[in-house]
Every structure is written in structure tokens, then in C-alpha cells.
Amino acid sequence: MAEKITIQDIARLAGVSKATVSRVLNDKPDVDRLTRERILRIMEEQGFVPSITASGLAGGRNRLIGVLIPPLNWPLLPELMRGVAEIAEQTPYELVLYSISSMNHERDRRKVIDRILTTKLTAGLLAIFPGHSAQYMSELHQQGFPVVLLDDQYAPPAMLPWVGADNRVGAYEATRHLLQLGHRRIAHIQGPMKWKVSHDRYEGYCDALQEFGLVPDPALVAEGDFMPASARSIAETWFSLGEFARPTAIFAASDLMAYGVMSAVEEHGLRIPHDISLIGFDDTSPSALLKPALTTVSQPFYEMGQRAIGQLLNLIEDVQSPHRRWYEQDDDHHFVPVPSSMHLQLPTNLVVRASCGAPLRHAQSSIPEQESAD
């Protein structure tokens, strides 16, 4: 096996000092253009791959960003990480992923974070769906370590940078769509109510009902766990009530739970949207491919990833190179500064597909008509 090319070898071949090669690796401006080009050409000819750790230490900067992620099978992760990666790859930084199981005890999570920090090679942390670990992240942030939360299920600490979606407005728009179609018996399958996201989506559901002069019916609200099996069981209970007592529409607080409702609909010999209209939340990839395709609330996962890593890069640069800001393209392809905000809540979008329709007349016959608030 050929010996690995080192910075010292590149310096010897280019006829410069090791420090000059290091300045080129760290994109320092104080290197002559011809010298820089010669060094880069020699690096390419020799197949030189710089050590991220070594170059970071040589320049007094860390070039690694730690990303704490949920288990890799989490369905929302790919789009979030696509946004994170596309911004990160335009910078000198590299991402290091740490997958933390939701089943881990909080003490174990804190140990993982401590191990990451002990290396002193991580410039900052991006924590996706961190749960109770957010409180520890807040302590790190107060100590001056760059941290940003992305899509947390609990209420984010007041002083900790956070990026998420407007769950309440998204749920309001979903429920309002069903109301405008003529539905009045609209059921809601909540996510776990220990999480803020579930409360926000339930409040949006209530906002829309109240706008149409309706009071939420406790018999049409049940708590699920964001997974299909819980929603299937809840829907089966409602469908057993009989034609006039069952809901004519269901708003599920996640697409996965909407899939569970679809199973129950088929099991009971019903049809979507003829007998039951259905809306989910998230717009995960399979939702557009179902038969019928699922109407759902789309979260801007890609943009959330971009915004979160942009915020973190700004925090890192505030520590390492004050006044520098990372940029992204706007709709007209002009480069504009990435906005820095402590809590950034991005808008959702209702994606109307084939799983919703007007309720059948006989299903509404025993329910008094309500005037639309429009």
C-alpha cells in the first residue's frame, strides 16, 4: 500500500512551508493566488485528502458539526437531512451523525452528548427531535456552545434557537377544508398529548370548529401515538357506532395514523371518500401514491433543514469569525443573508388530493345545518 500523502509532503513538493499549505486548506486570504493554485494543483495530482481534524486544529477552528438524529427509519428524516446537507456541503464543515434511539433513557442521551463534546472537535450541535434532551441543550447554549433544535416535540426552551412548522395553523386549515366540504361530524385522532406538537394540532382542529359555530365533541376525539396501529383501533371503535353516529370525516395528526384509518375503512367495508373523508399531517412520500391519494398537511421539511443548519452556522461563525454570515438563494436566484431568529416557525401547506369529498346526504340528515363563517 502506498504511503499516505501528508501536508508536509505537499509543502515540500510546492516549495512552501507547512503553514502556507495549512492556510490554503483553511481558505485564508493571505496566500498569493499563484501559490494557492500551485498548492491546489499538487494536492489534486497527488490525490491528497486533508484530514478534517488536522486542518481544523491547524487553523484554530473545528470543522465538524454534530447532528443528533432520531432512529434512521424515522419517516420525516430524509427530507430534513436533505436540506441540512445541501447547505452544509457549500461550507468547509462536515456533518457527523449520531442516531439516538427514542427508547434511550435521558441519562444515556446526556452521556452521548457529553462524549461528543469531550472530543472538542465539534463546532456545534444540530439536534433533530431531541425530546427531553432539549433542556440540556439549553444549558450548553447558555454556556456559549452553538446549538439549534429542529422540529422538537416539546415546547422549546425560551432562549434556545429552534426551527419548526406551524402545526396549529396547518391543523386549522385541514379541519376547515372538511368543514367547507360540508362535514360536521369531524373526528380527530391526536398524537401523544405529552407533546406540544399534538396540543398545537388539536388546538388548530378546535379553532376551525369554533369558527363554524361548532363545539368539539369529546366522543370524536381520541389520543393515538402517531403510528398506524393506534389509529386503526380508534377508527374501528368509531365505525362500530353505526351509520348516523360515526364521523363522516377524520383528521389524523400524522400520515402514519391516516394509513391506519385506511386499514380500518377497508376492514369495515367502507370507502374513502364516499363514506369517510380523511386528512393526514406531514405529507410523507407514500401519501401521494395511495389509492385514493391522501389529502394531508405538508410540512416544509427541506426548508426546515436548510434554516436550521443556517442558524447553526451563523452561531458558529459568531464564535469563530464574527460578522460572517452564510447565504442562500431567494426565489429570484439572488443571494440573501440567512435570517437569524431565536424561534423560527415555517408555514405548512394543505395538499388536497382524492381522500376528501362532500358527505353523503343521508349521513348528514340528522345533523342541523351550520352556516359557514366565510
pLDDT of residue 105: 54
| Same fold: 64-160+301-346 with 167-299+350-364 | yes
Write the CA distances from 304 to 50, 76, 162, 337, integer angstroms.
31, 11, 10, 16
Greater confidence (230 vs 137) lies with 230
Distance CA(198)–CA(190), nearest Å, equals 6
Query: Given a cut of 70, is residue 60 above it in pLDDT?
Result: no
**If pLDDT is split at 50, 70 and 90, which confidence band does 149 have?**
very high
Residue 161 cell numbers, joined: 434557537
Residues of the chain with pLDDT > 90, as a percent, come to 53
CB atoms within 10 A of CB 109: 21
Residues 6 or more apart whose CB falls under 8 angstroms from that of 217 comprise: 185
Summarised one tens digit per residue, pLDDT across range 280-308 is: 999 999 999 999 999 999 999 999 999 99
**If pLDDT is split at 50, 70 and 90, which confidence band does 71 have?**
confident
What is the CATH T-level fold of the domain 64-160+301-346, as seen in this structure?
Rossmann fold (3.40.50)
Please choose, from the candidates 153, 207, 198, the residue with its C-alpha nearest in 3D space to the C-alpha of residue 175.
207
On the CB side of 348, CA atoms within 13 Å amount to: 26
Most distant CA atoms of the chain, gap in Å: 90
Greater confidence (169 vs 61) lies with 169
Sketch the domain layout of the chain as residue ranges: 7-58, 64-160+301-346, 167-299+350-364
Residues of the chain with pLDDT > 70, as a percent, come to 78
pLDDT average, residue stretch 47-57: 59
Greater confidence (249 vs 91) lies with 249
In the predicted model, what is the mean pLDDT of the chain? 84
Distance CA(178)–CA(2), nearest Å, equals 67
Residues 6 or more apart whose CB falls under 8 angstroms from that of 167 comprise: 197, 200, 201, 204, 281, 348
Query: 54-88 burial, b for 16+ CB within 10 Å, e for fewer?
Result: ebbebbebbbbbbbbbbeeeeebbebbbebbeebb
Architecture of domain 7-58: Orthogonal Bundle (1.10)
Distance CA(344)–CA(162), nearest Å, equals 6
| CATH superfamily ID and name for 167-299+350-364 | Response regulator (3.40.50.2300)
Residue 331 cell numbers, joined: 426565489
Greater confidence (280 vs 22) lies with 280
Summarised one tens digit per residue, pLDDT across range 201-222 is: 999 999 999 999 999 999 999 9
**If pLDDT is split at 50, 70 and 90, which confidence band does 106 have?**
low
